């Protein structure tokens, strides 16, 4: 009988006991709002910002309500105005163009490569054609492009870079933390990311004026002096009366849950790499399946796994997903004609009026994506690889394409 995987692709590890105790302390004293503190007390949100700034080596940090609000705040702080063109990857998730649209910007999508990174050769032509002065760079699914070359292109084209690091908290390029190359780095602490507060976001920068604007935008009122990882008060004087309040603060409860998780980030990144490499090894040299190349300069976080099925038909891919799901392995397909759950692609975001991206279309047509939660063991990853290899070989060699009954195509 074929083996079946019984683990859950959506089950996260429990919150650390230290985080539970800290959250209970906040609940007991009731001061959840970040500016509601007792005399001499430092808010959990302010401590989180200070600690995350230290972790990334940034001068400043701001905790906000979500990864999407981090990007929206960063775009506003960078001066994006209604009607402005903003470049971004053709392969990303809906909150990225959503953040651009939220500030009235116009998303302009750049082609992506078979390594799932932004096509560096397509940036300058798209910037010149659209007049874009900002690139919201999505490190989609944890894949880092050549950041040295990208920043050289940005300087040559006069582009301000904002990094979407929702999938790269803990990653580096040549030793430089993800989020430290551009004007601002934006992170998510949504449940499926690398630190879990249900929802939440973090924003880092070394630019004092941009961070002052971000703190005011987040809803600091005139309490910005209570931020510890913030520019000095005099920086706020020049912008405080010209910056709207969009109220996207993080509360002390979520900050309390997150702070202990920062201490174990490096250890968890190492565990994710073991899972990723185990799955990669198990799928090497599988006919019909292309693994994604990981550059030596990239230290990535393997919290998800992708592979390509070049030249497969939609019917074959549907059959593979369904047959694998019947054996307990849940995958997502970025080439599906309609968005499913969290999975959609650029042509589904009609509000952005996207232009066709033929190279990106060819990549996404055969792109398969899968979560790797830390509740999996290396033995689990090895079993998943065995199941996938068997099913890829079976479908690729002409197994029946009938879909198993009542098996969803994506989670």
* Domain final residue pick, 202, 230, 263: 263
pLDDT in tens, the chain (411 residues): 899 999 999 999 999 999 999 999 999 999 999 999 999 999 999 999 999 999 999 999 999 999 999 999 999 999 999 999 999 999 999 999 999 999 999 999 999 999 999 999 999 999 999 999 999 999 999 999 999 999 999 999 999 999 999 999 999 999 999 999 999 999 999 999 999 999 999 999 999 999 999 999 999 999 999 999 999 999 999 999 999 999 999 999 999 999 999 999 999 999 999 999 999 999 999 999 999 999 999 999 999 999 999 999 999 999 999 999 999 999 999 999 999 988 999 999 999 999 999 999 999 999 999 999 999 999 999 999 999 999 999 998 766 555 444 444 444
Structure tokens given for 356? 């066709």
Helix (H, G, I), strand (E, B) or coil at 338: coil
248/279 same-domain check: no
277/238 same-domain check: no
217/324 same-domain check: no
- The domain tally of the chain equals 2
* Domain final residue pick, 235, 263, 291: 263
| Residue 69 included in any domain | yes
340/233 same-domain check: no
Distance (Å, whole) CA 287 – CA 283: 9
CATH code (residue 384): 3.90.1150.10
277/204 same-domain check: no
pTM of structure: 0.95
Q: What b-and-e string marks burial along 345-378, b requiring 16 or more CB atoms within 10 Å of the CB? A: bbbebeebebeebeebebbbbbbbbbbbbeebee
- The number of beta carbons lying within 10 Å of the beta carbon of residue 290 is 13
224/308 same-domain check: no
| Residue 403 included in any domain | no
Is residue 92 within 8 Å of 186, Cβ to Cβ? Answer: no
Q: Which domain holds residue 65?
A: 17-263
Q: What is the pLDDT of residue 407?
A: 40
| Residue 385 included in any domain | yes
């Amino acid at each position: 009988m074929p083996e079946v995987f019984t683990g859950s692709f959506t089950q996260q590890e429990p919150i650390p006991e230290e985080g539970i105790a800290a959250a209970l302390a906040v609940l007991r004293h009731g001061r959840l709002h970040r500016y509601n503190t007792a005399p001499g007390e430092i808010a959990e949100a302010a401590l989180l910002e200070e600690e995350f700034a230290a972790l990334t080596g940034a001068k400043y940090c701001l905790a906000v309500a979500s990864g999407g609000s981090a990007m929206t705040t960063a775009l506003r702080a960078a001066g994006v105005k209604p009607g402005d063109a903003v470049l971004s990857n053709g392969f990303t998730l809906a909150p990225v163009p959503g953040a651009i649209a939220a500030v009235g910007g116009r998303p302009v999508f750049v082609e992506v490569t078979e390594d799932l990174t932004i096509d560096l050769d397509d940036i300058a032509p798209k910037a010149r054609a659209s007049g874009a002065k900002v690139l919201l760079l999505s490190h989609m699914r944890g894949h880092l492009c050549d950041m040295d070359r990208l920043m050289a292109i940005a300087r040559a084209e006069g582009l301000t870079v904002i990094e979407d690091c929702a999938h790269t908290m803990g990653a580096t390029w040549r030793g430089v933390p993800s989020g430290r190359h551009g004007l601002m780095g934006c992170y998510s602490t949504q449940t499926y990311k690398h630190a879990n507060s249900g929802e939440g976001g973090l924003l880092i920068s070394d630019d004092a004026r941009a961070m002052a604007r971000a703190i005011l935008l987040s809803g600091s009122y005139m309490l910005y002096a209570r931020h510890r990882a913030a520019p000095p008060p005099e920086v706020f004087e020049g912008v405080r009366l010209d910056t709207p309040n969009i109220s996207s603060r993080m509360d002390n409860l979520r900050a309390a849950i997150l702070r202990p998780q920062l201490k174990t980030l490096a250890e968890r990144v190492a565990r994710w790499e073991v899972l990723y490499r185990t799955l990669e090894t198990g799928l090497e040299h599988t006919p019909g399946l292309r693994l994604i190349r990981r550059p030596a300069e990239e230290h990535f976080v393997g919290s998800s796994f992708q592979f390509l099925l070049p030249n497969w038909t939609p019917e074959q891919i549907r059959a593979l997903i369904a047959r694998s799901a019947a054996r307990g392995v849940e995958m997502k397909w970025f080439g599906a004609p309609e968005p499913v759950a969290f999975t959609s692609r650029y042509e589904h975001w009609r509000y952005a009026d996207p232009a066709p991206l033929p190279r990106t279309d060819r990549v996404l047509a055969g792109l398969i994506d899968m979560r790797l939660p830390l509740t999996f063991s290396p033995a689990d990853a090895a079993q998943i690889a065995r199941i996938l290899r068997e099913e890829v070989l079976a479908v690729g060699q002409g197994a029946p394409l009938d879909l198993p009954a009542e098996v969803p195509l994506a989670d």
